[in-house]
Structure 1
Amino acid sequence: MREHFRQDWIYRLLAVALAIILWMYVTGEQNPTGEKVVRVPLETENLREGLVVADRPAEVQVRVEGRKAAVANLLSRDVHAYVSLRDAKVGDNLLPVQVEVPEGLNVIHVNPAQVTIKIDKIEQVQLPVQVNLLGTPAGGYRALEPVLKPSQVVVSGSAATLKSIGRVYVEAKIDQASGNFLAQLPVKLADREGRPLQEWLTVSPEVVETFVPVVQDMPSKFLAVRPQLAGEPAKGYAIQRVILQPEVVEVFAPYNHLAALDYINTAPVNIAGATKNVTAETNLEIPAGVQVGSFPRVRVVVEIGKAANPNSTP
């Protein structure tokens, strides 16, 4: 009996083992596993205020394992590789790469598993913006000096990266243009070799208003800008002076048009009832057939003060 009982258990164990092997085989055939290596952009997180990443690897390689169907459909954007900079200090920091993958997949290997991240303090510089004109105007037209608002931007980043800036610019597409170009354009940064620097720096403002006068090849003339004021200051107050920016503008027109022009007006600026200075940005009133070679807006400052008392003794 004892021998029979022992043989019975051996058969049972063999049956269980065969069942497990068979299950693993069937499961493997129906849902085979596979591996895949993906190149993933390396991101940084949790950097303290006042610090900036001065240098880091652009990407890492991640080897994942999982069901073949899931692995085959895996894209680099599905994998999140990052380094936490919560405890990073100024200088070089050797830190582990952390990886997150979709459910059902496992990370086998990360290359490199640790990376050196260089941290620097944030500094700022104010730099002028240049205009890169793309293309040429239509026949019979020409582009004049561009006008930018603002003409300078503040760039923030590490000291070393700021020193490598070779150019701050916008790109204005004026190919075959037969009229003025006006647009809000993104500011771009490049090093001295022309390589982009946008990733390492921040710009304020990120866009600037860009005006490129595109005028016909006609005679030109400089005209004084004359302010038009609507209304009168409050009783007891008077206009002290009017400041214009710009005070003169270049206009383009046929000779017979230019001969009749001595000045160019601004649109009316309302000063009715004013008791203090009035500042306005207004348009120019451009006559028909005339083109202006600068931004067609004028800043007008009307200084208002107490009126002199005519009855007072000097």
Structure 2
Amino acid sequence: MWEHWRQDWIYRLLAVGLAIILWIYVTGEQNPTGAKVVRVPLETVNLKEGLVVADRPEDVQVRVEGRKAVINNLLPRDVHAYVDLREAKVGDNLLPVRVEAPEGINIIHINPSQVAVKIDKIEQIQLPVQVSLVGTPAGGYRALEPVIKPSQVIVSGSAAILKSIGRVYVEAQIDQARGNFLAQLPVKVADRDGHPLEEWLSLNPQVVETFIPVVQDMPSKIVAVRPQLSGEVAGGYTIDRVILQPEVVEVFAPYKLLASLDYINTAPINIAGATKNVTVETNLEIPSGVQVGSFPRVRVVVEIKKTDVQAEGTVNPGRAS
């Protein structure tokens, strides 16, 4: 038997080899491999606090390989390309690109395999927010001066990027509007050529309240704002003065309504039992048929003080003749 095996061992090894080759061939036919080049956004991670990325490539090319069924369904978002900035310093840094891919996908080549990343210290500036109107109001209507709250935002970023800012703005869609526009709008930043810069900057706040009066083409008039106080202050106290912001508003209405309109009340302000200043932001009570050309809210400060303890008619000894 041993002699028989020794005589046939070459044939036995050949049979095993043929079987392996046949298995590889059949497997390859059923699950063929393929390659693909994907353009992947380049991200940054582990940047130290107080620093900001001033410049870096937007993406890299990654050549991957795997089963065709998997490769054909692979999307750029499935591949993660990033640069680790843990050891990055202020200035120019040449750092390797790292790539992570789904299971079953092999990374064949990264182009470029190293990228230049510029790091700066974070600086801040305060800039006013402009309003960019998109469209025009309906016929017979017009848009008045916008009101933004807050009117300025803090922009943080590298010194070079901050210097390149052309404007900070919000976009308000008022096409065919027939009434006031009020919305919370995201703040946008563009360079002097109009290109967006949001990726390189941080904003505080990121959203501002935007009010655009859209009024009919009617006669206008400036009228006073009158505080409508409700209740009485506590005993021994009195109202010193009332401060309004704004004190007057522009109103739009037919001539007949304007003729009898001299002021607009605020909503009732409760001062019952007050012993200290009352500060509120309240609405205006706008009469029917009247439109207001400013933000329809008013800040009211009711200053309250103690009354003079000296009774009326009593002669002040210090002033007696």
User: TM-score of the superposition, structure 1-length normalised?
Assistant: 0.96
Aligned-residue CA RMSD (Å): 1.5
Structure 1 distance, partners of 2:32, 2:139, is 67
Deviations 1:110-132 (A, max 9, x none): 10111111111111111100011
Identity among equivalent positions (%) equals: 80
Distance change (3 Å), C-alpha of 1:277 and 1:4: same
Question: How far apart are residue 5 of structure 1 and its match?
Answer: 5.5
Residue 62 (structure 1) aligns with: 62
Residue 77 (structure 1) aligns with: 77
Question: How far apart are residue 3 of structure 1 and its match?
Answer: 8.3
Question: How far apart are residue 13 of structure 1 and its match?
Answer: 2.1
Residue 236 (structure 1) aligns with: 236
Residue 293 (structure 1) aligns with: 293
Structure 2 distance, partners of 1:290, 1:72, is 64
Question: How far apart are residue 248 of structure 1 and its match?
Answer: 0.6
Deviations 1:141-170 (A, max 9, x none): 111101111111111111111111101111
Residue 87 (structure 1) aligns with: 87
Structure 2 distance, partners of 1:32, 1:255, is 83
Structure 2 distance, partners of 1:107, 1:15, is 35
- Correspondence 1:166 to 2:166: yes
Letter in 2 for 1:198: E
Larger mean Cα displacement after TM superposition, 225-234 or 185-194:
225-234
Question: How far apart are residue 310 of structure 1 and its match?
Answer: 2.9
Question: How far apart are residue 300 of structure 1 and its match?
Answer: 0.3
Structure 2 distance, partners of 1:105, 1:176, is 53
Structure 1 distance, partners of 2:189, 2:135, is 20
Structure 2 distance, partners of 1:260, 1:299, is 25
Letter in 2 for 1:19: A
Letter in 2 for 1:113: S
Residue 40 (structure 2) aligns with: 40
Residue 247 (structure 1) aligns with: 247
Residue 215 (structure 2) aligns with: 215
Q: Pairwise mapping of residues 182-221 of structure 1 onto structure 2 (< 5 A)? A: 182-221=182-221
Larger mean Cα displacement after TM superposition, 256-265 or 184-193:
256-265
* Gap runs ≥5 in structure 2: none
Structure 1 distance, partners of 2:295, 2:5, is 104
Structure 2 distance, partners of 1:47, 1:218, is 57
User: TM-score of the superposition, structure 2-length normalised?
Assistant: 0.94
Structure 1 distance, partners of 2:8, 2:308, is 124
Structure 1 distance, partners of 2:189, 2:123, is 16
Residue 50 (structure 2) aligns with: 50
Letter in 2 for 1:227: P
Structure 2 distance, partners of 1:127, 1:235, is 47
Deviations 1:261-310 (A, max 9, x none): 11111111111111111110001111111110000100001111211223
Letter in 1 for 2:181: F
Question: How far apart are residue 11 of structure 1 and its match?
Answer: 2.0
Residue 307 (structure 2) aligns with: 307
What SS does the corresponding residue of 2:14 show, helix, strand or coil? helix
Structure 1 distance, partners of 2:279, 2:2, is 111
Residue 138 (structure 1) aligns with: 138
- Correspondence 1:15 to 2:26: no
Structure 1 distance, partners of 2:51, 2:216, is 51
Letter in 2 for 1:185: L
